[in-house]
Every structure is written in C-alpha cells, then in structure tokens.
Structure 1
C-alpha cells in the first residue's frame, strides 16, 4: 500500500474509531483460495473500501467496480433498511476497517454485522445470487408454546415479509410481527442485497428460510446470513422502531458451505 493510499484509508475509516470501540462482527469470511495478486490489486481494494464507506454511509447501499486494465475489484456495502443514517455510517466504517485487518491477503472477503454487510472480490459478483458460505445462529432454548402452531405462524410470517422484501419499493427489506399469545410476540426480519433481481431475492430468502426446520427447529430464535440475503426471527423486538438492545442468550453458531 502506498503512503497516499494508507493515509486516505485511515482518514476515512478512523473518524468513528477515535471515540468508540470496535464492535464484533457476526461473521467474517476470508477466501484463502483468492489471494491478492499484486500491490496494484491491493491498492485498488483500499481505494474501493474508501468509496464503499463514503457512498454507503449516505445512501445505505452501494455496489461498484474499481480498477483499470486487467485488474478490477468489485465491492458492495449495504445497511439494514430499518437502520438510521448515523448507525449505518458507523457500521460501514467499522466493517471496512475490520475486513482489511482480518483478511489482509485475500481478494475475496465478506463481513457481517447486525446493522450492515460489506464485501469485495476480484471476481464480479454484483447482481448474482450467492449463498456460499452461510452463517447460521440459533437460540439454544426451545419454544415453550405449542410447536405446531409456532411453526405454522412462523411460516406465515416469513412468507409475508419475504413478499415485502422482493418489492422494489422496499429496497430488499421485509419485517413484521405476529401475536402468538397475549404475552408472546414473534418478530421476523428479512433482507436481500439491493443489487438482486426480485426473482433472485425470492430464491435467496427461500433457501435461507429452508434452514429453519433443520438447524433451528422449534428454537426461540434463528438467524441465517448469506452474502445475498439474510433472515431472522426472535421472540423479542429486532427491528426499528421496535429495536431492542437484547442479543442472543445461549447462542449456537455454525458456518456452512452448502
């Protein structure tokens, strides 16, 4: 990395870190089979990271390519659709800083946070459905209400929010809730990256939700994260304006390569 690249990257990415500690990501993937091939490619990744931070921090989403000649890198950054501008900007800055620190030698890297997702690669992935790898979280506790009704209501809710997510006007976001009893409410959230077509979004969400019966059967909470979409349900509020600071208790996590 040249001194000018280094200073520019630090100048953009250190704005928030001057006053706050870094958050831990939900997951990181560094493709060990995609090594950075040259200093030029590394410099382009740094330049791309700066552009991802600048543009996604203001718009909530960006998908761009950067380079020249035979060397190009491609990047995408997106915040959760219900997250405010300030939280989005903070998350994207953190993602760009951490992904380069955690994947310093890889030309294909992804990082997931609760509020945002960031990815870059030397292969053009923009607009393409990608469900490899996947990161799955599940609550270690089973639901205490009647499981058949729980799964029926969960299925209806995920279908409803999936229908929201594929509509262009919703920019890939679907969210909703349903009462299971006077004292228990089920909340669900789904989002596709905004470069996907409605059909690809629907396919991604279908694959994601398809993990629920196997990995999260009858569990109080579940989260499936792919590079193109994610889905989540909980028995407490998980989206704004009903946001909660609660996190998983007794959580189990797995990274899968279907």
Structure 2
C-alpha cells in the first residue's frame, strides 16, 4: 500500500499552548500519521469484501435486513465457523410476521433447514465443491464473460451461512456495486460497534437502480475482515429504501457443539424428496 509522507515545516517550537491545555506538535503529527496508516486503496477494500471468509475464524451476532424492492424485513441471528470444519447456525425471523421463522444448520456436511411456520424440516447431504481461492483472489479475476454476457465469478461459501452472507460474506455487493471504480469513493474511516470501518459512498449502476429502486449507496465495511456491518441504499429523494444494520457482533470467539445445534420439535414433519 502506498502511504503519504507528512512533511514537517519550519516548526521550531516544541509545544503549543492553547486555552484548553497543552498540545505538542509531536502529538498532532502522530495523529495525522495514524490517519494515513488507516487509509486503504479501492482495490484493497474491494478485495477484502470479496474474500471476507478468509479473514475471521468465527463470528456470531445479529443484523437487520430490510428491502423495499425485495418486500422483506428480517432479523438474522447467526453463528458461523469459516475455518477448519466450516459450520453455521442461522435463524431468520420475519419482522412483518412473527410466525415466519426459518432456521438452518450446517455441520459435518449435513444441511438441516427448519420452517417453523409450516412445522417442517429438511435434511440434505452437501458436498462442497473445490474452489481455488488463490486463483480468484483479486477483483480482476472475479469478472468474466459467458456467451458474450458479463459474468460474476463467486466463491462458494464453505459454511452455508444462508442470508447471513449478505453481511458476513458480502461478495455480491462487492461484485455488483464496486465493479466500476469511477462510481464510488472511500469517504472516510470510522467506528461501528467498537470495530474500525471504512466508509464507502457511491452510485448504483442502471441495473441495480432499476432492481433495487434506488440510486445511491453507503457502506460501512470492517477494515480487518471485509464484513459489511451496515448498508444503506437511497432513492432519488434521499429516502433509505434498503438497509443492513448490525445490532451486535463478536469475532473469533469459540463456538461449542451447543452453539451449533437445532432442537427440532417431535411434531415437526420431515419433508421427503
């Protein structure tokens, strides 16, 4: 990463006395250098989002996910393990209908999905495909063409984290929103739930404008992992029409067998294929 150099001018005094206390020039320079250290290039933050699952071992928490165009309003609770033996437990609750609750559990190659509204569940054996992540590490390797049409090359989610991927593995946002570097800017750094974030603002392309009924977007991305902690999409008049908002999150804490388990009531029926 290229870093700017801060030049010290003809400052001979070592201390600046203000009305509220004493501030040294050295302190000011340290603060300025910290801001420089925090800066990231567009390609670096883009790469981070496309490969977030490589950057944490476990994560658990909750986020809200609402879309006017998609006509949904969900709260998503998640516990995810990305490395070693990947696993996940996801609970998706519709905030429009408290009876609509969907849970999924992926552990040891078996995917269990429970629909509480229908009092039913499914169990499926899953064989994860091999994906050479190093081959598709950089953004330029994640775009292609098939039969003359533009193609996004997506990495497989090894933990089968369901809708939690919208925040925890935001490659779809990274691929779709950040493809054209002229359409967005890194507008700052910040803190969100005690995590350092990079703030991105930009304009959606015509496809997403029509699909999402929005024109502009703003992202808060965890600078160490690439997790999308917050997203807002705005209509022409500035109204928020889509959003992701993380309510709580814990990274790299241990997950036990109890954490990765679903208790299915005896009366629930198993769907057969």
**TM-score when scaled to structure 2?**
0.23
Tell me which protein shows more strand as a share of its residues: 2
TM-score by length of 1: 0.24
Greater relative CO (CA pairs within 8 A, separation 6+): 2
Q: Which has the higher helix share?
A: 1
Bigger Rg, which one:
2
